[in-house]
Amino acid sequence: MNITFYCSRRVYSYCVLRLMYHKNINRYMPSSGGSMRQYQCNFVHMQSSTKETKKLSAVSLLPTKLKEFVEESMQICRPSNVHVCDGSEVENALLIDKLLKAGTVVPLPKYKNCFLARSSIKDVARVESRTFICTKNRRDAVNIPKGTTKGIMGNWMSLEDANEAIKTRFDGCMEDRTMYVIPFSMGPLNSPYSKIGVQLTDSAYVVCSMRIMTRMGTDVLEKLSSNEENCYFVKALHSVGKPISGLVEHSHWPCDPERTLILHKPEYDEIISYGSGYGGNSLLGKKCFALRIGSTIARREGWLAEHMLILGVTDPKGRKRYIVAAFPSACGKTNMAMMKPSLPGYKIECVGDDIVWMKFDTNGQLRAINPEFGFFGVAPGTSQATNPVAMDTIFENTIFTNVAQTSDGGVYWEGMEDPAQGVTINDWLGNSWVKGSKTPAAHPNSRFCTPANQCPIIDENWDSPEGVPIDAILFGGRRPEGVPLVYESFDWKHGVFIGASMKSEATAAAEHTGKIIMHDPFAMRPFFGYNFGNYLKHWLSMENIPNAKLPKIYHVNWFRKDENGKFMWPGYGENSRVLDWILRRINEEPNTANITPIGYTPTKETFNTFGLKVDFDKLFSVPKHFWTEEAKEVANFLYEQLDEDLPKEIEEQIKNLIDRLNFSK
């Protein structure tokens, strides 16, 4: 047989080794020529392959389990080409070129290697109502609420319904187009905390974004094939669902919003996403894998996958601690992850801004990694004033989506410093826009997708395989009333109850314009991969890990308002004062806490307000009437949502809180 072997330079060593192993060949002729020509050879030319010359494609060289996944999906989706991604610069350039030609992205010549994508107006956000956890038994996926109460902690679909829905959507969905095979690692490739995934997608935008958000390419393939017997990876299948008819209003952003569906099969470690090219719906390593599937794997294996930032904080004496923090949306999580501390001598470094995977090591120390490789941040509100560090990160090698564009080839969004005189603006839909318009310039959910290692304060250990040691867990919320700036839980169980009780002010759905306080336990409400009652039991079970040093748990609220509706706390860099107090607590400094019915609050002497005009007593007050109502409301929420799934330890916490309030003055 005449074997022609082609491959690109970076896949080269991998392919050559595989070829020699499989075909018992000890000599080979490497392909010559320019990089683009090499690349074409990484494609499987299914139609052009002849009987005489078998073109050994990258697919045929994949480890068996992965090859089976790719070939099964090829049979269903019927792409005309398959491209196994190597993650190289050359490959990225080729894909960007393709996106430019299709009009999916436009260049931003004001910056180095930055691009702007404009999505379809029907495809601008995650779609929670179309996101499902699919298991054999409903109760494994979601908690069962009391009576006719509607569960708000995720949706369940049967495996039968899921498979039917997949069949009707994926059959031939990639006809005449390319299927990309994206091998990616969540976490450093050589870390025991990391997991590998493979996403199949028909979107080049997704490939380029996954290259920023995950560690992607040949190294991952090599890792997978280094251990054929133990070739484990999470399977993620994605199609934008370009309707065969081709009738789409935004032909440069194919999608199928009427039939969009995001499915998770935690019993099979599979993700299937159809119809959307946007963020959390299509970059499957992030919310789908690192949180939903991740949380189910974490439960099985005894660790935690959480919706939290990770930061390192060094005090003036040079003592460094790491903390994690969970915040619902619109609390400025990315701002906090990159905060510039106002207190002299303090240093903050960023490990991650969205997701943490953490586990108690054999010494009982909680250790954490950021499974991601980039930041997929909300653009509006990001500015030199609110997040100067992000502004120093995002103007190179970044893909922006749905932000406004300036006539000098830059970007613009609400909250950003005004562009120079004479520079005009086109909004996210491409229409000309002036300040004062009724519609926003950038879509409120517009994003930057940027490499984490470009962050000027990225922590030296941010991609260390051992992770970083965690000393405190923060929960937070946007609470205009009643909730003090910071308080500490009495113990671990009480801390878990505080996480379960999290609430935050959010802009309500279209009909109401007012703001309402929504429950968002652990900031995980849209991201639980399994029954929230079992999730609480899993958190509670950390107390039973032999020699586990349980970190202290805090609740913070930067958003308390006075009777005139003014924020009582300046926030931003001044939040370093809250971290300063937390570090004093961790260091067991004496006389740092007052006991209140809801937890420990700072003493006036040990909370540094030097140079600030704040009303300490008002900022830290625990109003009895407010908290009595709050306790009843939270109790009601947990009883109704969880019913039989509510752990008795949490029921006890509710009773203890009500008792402490009753006995307080």
- Residue 198 or 485: which CB sits closer to ligand TSX? 485
Candidates 84, 236, 304, 339: give the one binding ligand TSX (CB under 6 A): 339
Candidates 121, 125, 330, 423: give the one binding ligand TSX (CB under 6 A): 330
The interface partner of residue 571, options being Mn ion, ligand TSX, none and the CB cut-off 5 to 8 Å by kind, is ligand TSX
Candidates 312, 381, 521, 647: give the one binding ligand TSX (CB under 6 A): 381
**Rounded to an integer, what is the distance from CA 582 to the centroid of its chain?**
26
The Cα–Cα gap between 203 and 99 comes to 9
The Cα–Cα gap between 109 and 122 comes to 28
- Residue 328 or 467: which CB sits closer to ligand TSX? 328
> Which residues are identified as catalytic?
331
Joined tokens for residue 378: 């909300």
Give the count of residues interacting with Mn ion (CB under 5 A): 1
Residue with tokens 């091998």: 183
Smallest gap from Cβ 413 to ligand TSX, in A, equals 13
The Cα–Cα gap between 180 and 551 comes to 42
Contacts (Cβ under 8 Å, ≥6 apart) of 5: 15, 16, 19, 28, 29, 30, 31, 56
- The DSSP result for 179-240, as a single string, is EEEEEEEES-TT-TT-EEEEEEES-HHHHHHHHHHSEESHHHHHHHHTTGGG---EEEEEE-
Which secondary-structure segment (H or E) carries 358?
strand 356-360
Environment class of 444 (CB within 10 Å of its CB; exposed 0-12, middle 13-18, buried 19+): middle
- Residue 234 or 337: which CB sits closer to ligand TSX? 337
Joined tokens for residue 337: 């992850």
Residue 572's SS3 state is: helix
Smallest gap from Cβ 507 to Mn ion, in A, equals 16
Joined tokens for residue 170: 């994926």
Candidates 15, 152, 181, 336: give the one binding ligand TSX (CB under 6 A): 336
CB-CB contact of 108 with 408 (8 Å): no
- Residue 184 or 620: which CB sits closer to ligand TSX? 620
Give the count of residues interacting with ligand TSX (CB under 6 A): 14
Tell whether residue 415 is a contact of ligand TSX (CB under 6 A). Answer: no
The interface partner of residue 294, options being ligand TSX, Mn ion, none and the CB cut-off 5 to 8 Å by kind, is none
Tell whether residue 620 is a contact of ligand TSX (CB under 6 A). Answer: no
Smallest gap from Cβ 507 to ligand TSX, in A, equals 11
Smallest gap from Cβ 279 to Mn ion, in A, equals 10
Joined tokens for residue 614: 């704040």
The interface partner of residue 354, options being ligand TSX, Mn ion, none and the CB cut-off 5 to 8 Å by kind, is Mn ion
- Neighbour tally for 397: CB within 10 Å: 20
Candidates 354, 372, 459, 505: give the one binding Mn ion (CB under 5 A): 354
CB-CB contact of 70 with 224 (8 Å): no
The interface partner of residue 336, options being ligand TSX, Mn ion, none and the CB cut-off 5 to 8 Å by kind, is ligand TSX
Candidates 465, 570, 594, 664: give the one binding ligand TSX (CB under 6 A): 570
Smallest gap from Cβ 274 to Mn ion, in A, equals 22
Tell whether residue 332 is a contact of ligand TSX (CB under 6 A). Answer: yes
Residues that bind ligand TSX (CB under 6 A): 330, 332, 335-336, 339, 381, 386, 558-559, 567, 570-572, 575
Residues that bind Mn ion (CB under 5 A): 354
